[in-house]
Amino acid sequence: MKMNGNILLHHGSGGLMMQNLIHDLFLANFDNRFIRSLTDSAILPGKPGRIAFTTDGFVVDPVFFPGGNIGKLAVCGTVNDLAVSGAVPLFLSVSFIIEEGFPLSDLETIVKSMASEAKKARVLIVTGDTKVVPKGKADKIFITTSGIGHVEQEYEGISHARKVRPGDLVLVNGTIGDHGMTILNARESLRFSSRLESDCACLNGMIRKMLKGSPGIGFMRDATRGGLAGVLCELAGKTGLGIEINEENIPVREEVNGMCELLGFDPLHVANEGKIILVAAERYGKKILEIMKKDKQGKTSAIIGKITEGHKGKVLLNTTSGGKRWIDIPTGEQLPRIC
């Protein structure tokens, strides 16, 4: 049953229209026993050990872009935040704030997309909320998610980078900059055409295989806003150690390079939605790389550098031409340059 018409204020007012929307759209797609019970809180089974808990807001514009939409982004972003913390993602909550007039068919596409990603990631969307605001009070649709996961003790330290040591290797699971450049091109009507797509994807499957397949992972983070550079600078700051990266080893798509050259952007600062940076003890690096490459989300994985004793707290880039420079934290959004 393809929905048509637009979201009205009534859809958020708790009455019959909202009930119908919840049943026909949300329950129909996020189908599981927890959400079906429609209680004010989902009562979930517990497990011994630690809980990982994360929240995120999604306001991407445009709402639909090559490679995905705001809903897919919301599920993948939350799942990934849990997975890089060493957790098995289990349950998600979803809250929608929708602008009056938003097409129902678009909402349906977004919801179906979320259901599909949740199914792939084996997480359940167990509770949610819907609000509708008058036209002009929100930009089409905002989604806020929270996620719960279970962390086994041996992985608890991964986010804190406590085990990172000089000599450890730095890895990435594929090409950088795809998402940011896709969004920029779609949003700013720069009128570049390319086959570039967002890399938005749930990485928990690949990460689980890595964690179970080998010891030695000392740190993981997803490289979202701020890009590869953001994560590396944060890591160097956190550990007080130095990081050395080889530009020739960083996987970048030709299209991303082309667009970045045209606009004067640095691919290292461009956002990703399906990429993680991880640190692995040297003797396990190759094995972990192999595990990553076998997974769909890690086919172009690479070892891009290492942790060092020298230049503490700083990230050094060995450029493809043999020079060296520091990688720094981006100050804000990159803007197209003319000089």
Partner 1 sequence: MCLGIPAKIISLEGDLARVSIGGVEYTASISLLDDIRVGDFVIVHAGFAIEKVDPLEAMETMRLVQEIEAQSRKND
Partner 2 sequence: MEFIEEYRDKKIVGALAESIRKRSVHDIVLMEVCGGHTMAVHKFGIKELLPSTIRLLSGPGCPVCVSGTGFIDSAIRLAGIPGNIIATYGDLVRVPGSSSTLEKERAEGADIRVVYSVLDSIRIAHENPDHHIVFLGIGFETTAPATAAAILKARTEGLTNFSVLSSHKIMPPVMESLIDEGVKIDGYIAPGHVSAITGVEMYRNIAEKYRMGVVVSGFEPVDILQTILMLVSQFEDHDPKVEIQYRRVVKPKGNPIARELIGKVFITGDDWWRGIGMIPGSGLKIRPEFSSYDAERRFDLPHIPNKEPAGCICGEVLKGLKTPLDCGLFSAICTPVQPVGACMVSAEGTCATYYRYRKTA
258 in contact with partner 1 (CB under 8 A) = yes
Residues 109, 257, 300, 318: which binds partner 1 (CB under 8 A)? Answer: 257
User: From the CB of 174, what's the least distance to partner 1, in Å?
Assistant: 17
What residues pair up with 55 in beta bridges, in sequence order? 146
Helix 282-294 vs helix 204-213: angle between axes, to the nearest 10 degrees? 140
Q: Read off the tokens for 182.
A: 């896709």
Neighbouring residues of 45: CB distance < 8 A, sequence distance ≥ 6: none
Is position 192 an interface residue for partner 1 (rule: CB under 8 A)? yes
d(CA 19, CA 23) in angstroms, rounded, equals 6
Determine if 290 is a binding residue for partner 1 (CB under 8 A): no
Residue 215's binding partner out of partner 2, partner 1, none, with CB under 5 to 8 Å set by partner kind: none
State which of residues 15, 162, 254, 271 lies at the interface with partner 2 (CB under 8 A).
254
User: Pairing state of beta strands 169-172 and 302-308?
Assistant: antiparallel
Using rule CB under 8 A, residue 335 touches partner 1: no
Residue 338 engages partner 2 in binding (rule: CB under 8 A): yes
- The helix or strand, by DSSP H or E, that contains position 218, with its residue range, turns out to be strand 217-222
Q: Are 204 and 77 in contact (CB under 8 A)?
A: no
- Tell me if 199 contacts partner 1 by CB under 8 A: no
Cis link prior to 267 (omega < 30° from 0)?
Answer: no
Does 261 participate in binding partner 1 (rule CB under 8 A)? yes
- Residue 114 near residue 125, CB atoms below 8 Å: yes
Please choose which of partner 2, partner 1, none residue 196 contacts, taking the beta carbon within 5 to 8 angstroms, the exact cut-off set by kind.
partner 1
Contact present, 124 and 160 (Cβ < 8 Å): no
Strands 276-280 and 169-172, bridge-based pairing: antiparallel
**Per this entry, what is the length of the chain?**
339
Q: Is 325 helix (H, G, I), strand (E, B) or coil?
A: strand
Is 323 a binding residue for partner 2 by CB under 8 A? The answer is: yes
Amino acid at 156: E
Q: Which does 313 bind (CB under 5 to 8 A by kind): partner 1, partner 2, none?
A: partner 2
Query: What is the three-class DSSP state of 131?
Result: strand
- Return the structure tokens found at 272: 């990703």
14 binds, among partner 1, partner 2, none (CB under 5 to 8 A by kind): none
Q: How many CB atoms lie within 10 A of CB 45?
A: 7
Minimum CB–partner distance for residue 264 and partner 1 (Å): 5
Question: How does strand 242-246 pair with strand 315-318?
Answer: parallel
The yes or no reply on residue 136 touching partner 2 (CB under 8 A) is: no
**Could you say which of 193, 212, 296, 321 contacts partner 1 (CB under 8 A)?**
193
Q: What is the DSSP string of 83-109?
A: HTTTEEEEEEEEEEEEETT-BHHHHHH
- Scanning 97-105, 110-118, 253-261, 280-288 for contacts with partner 1 by CB under 8 A, the matching segment is 253-261
Identified binder of partner 2 from the candidate list 129, 188, 290, 309, rule CB under 8 A? 188
**CB of 314: closest distance to partner 2 in angstroms?**
5
Q: Is 191 a binder of partner 1 (CB under 8 A)?
A: yes
CB 167 within 8 A of CB 284: no
| Site membership for partner 1, residue 262 (CB under 8 A) | yes
Q: What is the DSSP letter of 160?
A: G
32 binding partner (options partner 2, partner 1, none; Cβ < 5 to 8 Å by kind): none
Which of these ranges, 22-30, 197-205, 215-223, 314-322, lies near partner 2 under the rule CB under 8 A?
314-322
Among 14, 215, 264, 310, binds partner 1 (CB under 8 A): 264
The nearest distance, CB 337 to partner 1, in angstroms, is 5
Q: What residues line the site for partner 2 (CB under 8 A)? A: 188-191, 233, 236-237, 254, 257-258, 261-264, 266, 312-314, 317, 319-326, 328, 331-332, 335-339
Q: What residues line the site for partner 1 (CB under 8 A)? A: 191-196, 253-255, 257-259, 261-264, 337-339
